[in-house]
Amino acid sequence: MEEKTERRIGTITCGICLILVGIGVILSMFTDIAVLRVLLRFWPLALISLGIEMLVIPNMKNIKLKYDFLGIILVIIILSITFVASIASYTVDEIFFNTNFLENMRERVVQMDK
């Protein structure tokens, strides 16, 4: 009888998410491209990747499955932090660097005073 190798589900997805978020952060720091916003639009791909991992790996022979809950939770935390950071960055850009935003706010205040 062959010994089964242990395989954790969620490790590959966690690794892919870490790589993509890291590349996104580096690119957004050195370019004007909003890479994190693009990554946020495609966050469901992390769930799809996890689902594919759950479907494909059990069909392999001689593999004992174990769910990597830490990896899955880490993916969720990373996606959440990236989402919050992207929204914060967008908000700061809109408030402090968008002159139209400030003009619109002044107009609203003036209209409220009337």
Name the DSSP class of 79: H
pTM of the model: 0.54
How many structural domains compose the chain? 1
The alpha carbon torsion through 36, 41, 44, 50 (nearest 10 deg) reads -30
CB contact at 8 A, 14 and 68: yes
* 17-44 pLDDT per residue, tens: 888 878 877 887 787 777 767 777 777 7
* 102-113 pLDDT per residue, tens: 677 777 777 777
Question: Residue 1 pLDDT > 60, yes or no?
Answer: no
**Which residues form the domain of 48?**
5-113
CB contact at 8 A, 53 and 31: no
Q: In sequence order, which residues have a C-beta less than 8 Å from that of residue 83 and are 6 or more positions away?
A: 40, 43
